[in-house]
Amino acid sequence: MKDFAGKIAVITGGGTGMGRELARQLVAEGCNVAMCDVSAENMAETKRLCEAGQLPQGLRITTHVADVADEAQVLRFRDDVLRQQNTDHVNLVFNNAGIGGGGSMVDSTREQWERTFNICWGGVYLCTRAFLPLLIKSTEGHLINTSSVNGFWATIGPGTPHTAYSAAKFAVKGFTEALITDLRINAPHVKCSVVMPGHIGTSIAINSRIIQTGGQFDNMTPQEFAAARTRMRAMGIDDTKMSDADIQTAAVDRARRFLEEAPTTAAQAAKIILDGVKAERWRILVGRDAEMLDQRVRNAPEKAYEPDFFKSFAEEVGWQIGR
Ligand SMILES: NC(=O)c1ccc[n+]([C@@H]2O[C@H](COP(=O)([O-])OP(=O)(O)OC[C@H]3O[C@@H](n4cnc5c(N)ncnc54)[C@H](O)[C@@H]3O)[C@@H](O)[C@H]2O)c1
């Protein structure tokens, strides 16, 4: 797809981060956008930002509250898109919504684990089920599924278990790669791409916690303090010198730094993704860190989970996360 003008794009998780920037850049190119999110307030802000520029006459930006892990809500989202965009097809579907959390099979609750997996994998699956027929109805369609570098490397450093997210992102990558052949045979006018971002400056750490707990960001539970202390000890840090309040403050600070100290901004990431779609690339690595990690894991797969592999990679790209 060389040109987005006049097309219709669906974006999941359009409330903040990369979803918001995809919406802004698509609208700037004259593309109609229908987005969903669990936050109506954040989508209203995305819509306001999209409308700040000069919009082509008749361009539609619609917002839909829907949880991508809930099939009934996804189907209602699809039906509302058809009605409010006044269409029988769509051209682009960005399965972008995702959260972290539920990292450990040992000390996360099953509920936390499955919430992350069901959004990051289940959301991609359910939205593909719902929207693929509408892509097939178009004359030119493209499905873009956001995985992560955690789709080929299942860790964010030796001090943090990361099982639910990694399992989901590997699933998104495998599913999308298998779709290449399926679509080539059964719907050759529809393309697909898997997006694998490195560290991108977004509020995902804060949003994930709000979605996981259904509430605030800065309210760690006694179990979470205990898990944080276990991780600190595993990394050789003396946790006895830190109060629970210190640990809470450090978590808030880490989330702020995740947003502010990333090597790639959400706007830069959205541009890389959209350029990749225009070039019909099926694999879109986002950021120099993602490209370097891809190479390193290929060069030494057996070493990928060794502390030294992480240390030397983090030093080379300047990653602060996981350190
Ligand atoms: N930020 C990074 O470093 C990074 C790296 C690799 C991959 N990713 C992936 O990129 C995608 C976008 O993340 P981001 O960093 O822009 O984060 P973000 O938190 O800024 O944006 C994600 C959006 O998805 C929404 N969302 C979450 N759960 C939802 C649900 N069940 N239904 C509907 N909407 C939901 C959130 O409310 C939020 O608006 C995610 O899939 C994430 O896993 C991010």
pLDDT of residue 54: 84
Tell which one of 204, 260, 265, 284 to mutate to probe ligand 1, the residue whose CB is within 8 A of the most ligand atoms: 204
CA distances from 80 to 32, 110, 214, 233, 301 (A): 14, 32, 25, 50, 45
Q: What is the mean pLDDT of the chain?
A: 95
State which ligand 1 atom lies nearest to the alpha carbon of 119: 31
Kindly give the distance from the C-alpha atom of residue 191 to the centroid of ligand 1, in angstroms, as a whole number: 22
Kindly give the distance from the C-alpha atom of residue 267 to the centroid of ligand 1, in angstroms, as a whole number: 14
CA triple 284-286-290, angle to 5 deg = 105
Reported as a single tens digit per residue, the pLDDT across 178-232 is 999 999 999 999 999 999 999 999 999 999 999 998 877 778 888 888 888 888 8
What percentage of the chain reaches a pLDDT higher than 90?
85
Whole-model pTM? 0.96
How far is it, in rounded angstroms, from Cα 280 to Cα 91?
A: 14
Counts of helices then strands in the chain (DSSP H, E): 12, 9
